[in-house]
Amino acid sequence: MDRAVPRSVEAVDEARQWGRLMELARIGAIPGDGVNRQALTALDREARRLLIGWAEAAGATVTVDAAANLWLRREGTDPGAAPVLTGSHMDSQPAGGRFDGIYGVVAGLEVLSALHQSGTVTRRPIEVVAWTNEEGSRFAPGCMGSMAWSGFRPVESFAGIADADGVRFGDALAEHLAAEADIPRRPLGFAPGAAPHAYIEAHIEQGPRLEAEGLEIGVVTGIQGSRWFEVTVSGDSAHAGTTPVSLRRDAVQDALRALNALNDAMHDPADVLRFTVGRIAVSPNSSNSVADMVRFSIDLRHPDAAVLGPRGDAIAGVVQAALRNCTATVAETFSAAPTEFDPGVVAAVEGAAAALECRHALMPSGAFHDAQFVSRVAPAGMVFVPSRAGISHNPAEYTAPAQLAAGTRVLAKALLDLAA
């Protein structure tokens, strides 16, 4: 590397970062190199303890807030200066990979380690945050930690949301915080007028573009909007052998009518609108009983609020019109508006990629991220590294050690510039 590259950026250690990622990937490992590490579980806590050990060895102080967001802080020379933040999440999809989320946390830690090792002191403090429950697979919706921190939704408003086993988020959070009672508490959010100076989240791309174009770095300009809904179709349970079809109120059949109508209504010839039904639950879920209830999720995304708004608003009407003899409720559980990142942070990431001579391009994100909520209260941006074959939310997710290290060097340079 040329001499203009700061020593702290040169100190980013590809092997150390890869080793940490692989050690973390053992916690919740599933077949096929995947990870299943759900938010606020014993596995989540085990992974966090590993992270804390590494952070303390790098001279960082560790705190946790009331939403269980975990903070690793390296002081700057100006104690009153607003910090520069980086981070992501440590929870995974149920059949997730080794990099979604955890890469951004480990990359932030790698920056702290590189600063420590090179004896570099920044003016502003640098903080690495691991946000709670970004994926939303144990407790829906996702991004609970960053929503609570940014003031978008109070953490108490999530308390009654139950996981598949009926455990309430409020109880899981209380259990988790009790298990981390030895970690000093910090207030949730920030004092009025004391917003962070900037936030940069490093993440795998989770799509095919960087690899296809031979690029090393995506400089993320914004995130498309998302809306989540939960549809509950209610009928009556009945005997499959004795109940004439004409007399049934069969929730499976009406759910199928609703799904077919939704697929038609959400069709987009341009293939920009993303309509996904990824979870379907049937009650009583017995092959010789007519179903009395079907509950399914809807994940709807589009980069333009003027499209996402009306398409999402149409969902309830489409469902109701499709039913034959059951009833249905449609509840919106999550909404994240399309986000444009801060031009100054985007420029810092792009400048860092250029200074480090990484092949890069500006690009939007199709996935949502905690950065979407941070950006409501602080200047935010993201850096992407390639995903092999664009695969993510899948055990086969892969990014090579050198690609991950390149992203961390860009993150380090951009954070240093913003913290100067």
Positions that interact with ligand GLV (CB under 6 A): 135, 367-368
In the complex, minimum distance from the CB of residue 384 to ligand GLV, in angstroms, rounded to a whole number: 13
Both structure tokens of 394: 């899948």
Instruction: Rule CB under 5 A: say whether 350 interacts with Mn ion.
Output: no
In the complex, minimum distance from the CB of residue 298 to ligand GLV, in angstroms, rounded to a whole number: 13
d(CA 22, CA 15): 10
In the complex, minimum distance from the CB of residue 61 to ligand GLV, in angstroms, rounded to a whole number: 29
Q: Using CB under 5 A, which of the segments 77-85, 93-101, 116-124, 173-181 binds Mn ion? A: 93-101
In the complex, minimum distance from the CB of residue 4 to ligand GLV, in angstroms, rounded to a whole number: 36
Instruction: Rule CB under 5 A: say whether 397 interacts with Mn ion.
Output: no
In the complex, minimum distance from the CB of residue 28 to ligand GLV, in angstroms, rounded to a whole number: 16
In the complex, minimum distance from the CB of residue 39 to ligand GLV, in angstroms, rounded to a whole number: 12
Both structure tokens of 82: 């607003």
Which residue lies nearer to ligand GLV by CB, 67 or 367?
A: 367
* DSSP calls for 268-324: -TTS-SEEE---EEEES--TTEE-SEEEEEEEEEES-HHHHHHHHHHHHHHHHHH-S
Both structure tokens of 380: 């935010």
Which residue lies nearer to ligand GLV by CB, 82 or 204?
A: 204
Residue in the shown chain whose Cβ atom is closest to ligand GLV: 367
In the complex, minimum distance from the CB of residue 12 to Mn ion, in angstroms, rounded to a whole number: 21
Which residue lies nearer to ligand GLV by CB, 127 or 135?
A: 135
User: In terms of residues, how long is the chain?
Assistant: 420
d(CA 289, CA 238): 6
Residue 84 binds which entry of ligand GLV, Mn ion, none, with Cβ cut-offs from 5 to 8 Å by kind?
none
Any idea what the Cα angle at residue 204 is, between residues 202 and 205, rounded to 5°?
Answer: 110
Which residue lies nearer to Mn ion by CB, 93 or 237?
A: 93
Which residue lies nearer to Mn ion by CB, 100 or 299?
A: 100
Residue 85 binds which entry of ligand GLV, Mn ion, none, with Cβ cut-offs from 5 to 8 Å by kind?
none
Instruction: Provide φ and ψ at 276, rounded to 5°.
Output: -130, 130
Site string for Mn ion, 50-89 (x = CB under 5 A): ----------------------------------------
Q: Do 215 and 93 contact (CB within 8 A), yes or no?
A: no
Could you tell me how many residues of this chain bind Mn ion (CB under 5 A)? Answer: 2
Which residue lies nearer to Mn ion by CB, 9 or 39?
A: 39
Using CA atoms, how far residue 34 sits from 28, 98, 143, 361, in Å, is 8, 6, 21, 29
Which residue lies nearer to Mn ion by CB, 6 or 101?
A: 101
In the complex, minimum distance from the CB of residue 368 to ligand GLV, in angstroms, rounded to a whole number: 4
Which residue lies nearer to Mn ion by CB, 108 or 125?
A: 108
Using CA atoms, how far residue 225 sits from 95, 101, 189, 259, 337, in Å, is 24, 19, 23, 22, 5
Which of the residues 95 through 114 are near Mn ion (CB under 5 A)? 100-101
Residues near 136 by beta carbon (within 8 Å), at least 6 away in sequence:
142, 143, 144, 228, 334
Residues near 276 by beta carbon (within 8 Å), at least 6 away in sequence:
298, 299, 300
User: What is the DSSP pairing of strand 126-131 with strand 84-89?
Assistant: parallel
Residue type, 388: R
In the complex, minimum distance from the CB of residue 371 to ligand GLV, in angstroms, rounded to a whole number: 11
- The owner of tokens 């190199």 is 33
Residue 384 binds which entry of Mn ion, ligand GLV, none, with Cβ cut-offs from 5 to 8 Å by kind?
none
Residue 368 binds which entry of Mn ion, ligand GLV, none, with Cβ cut-offs from 5 to 8 Å by kind?
ligand GLV
Site for Mn ion, rule CB under 5 A: 100-101
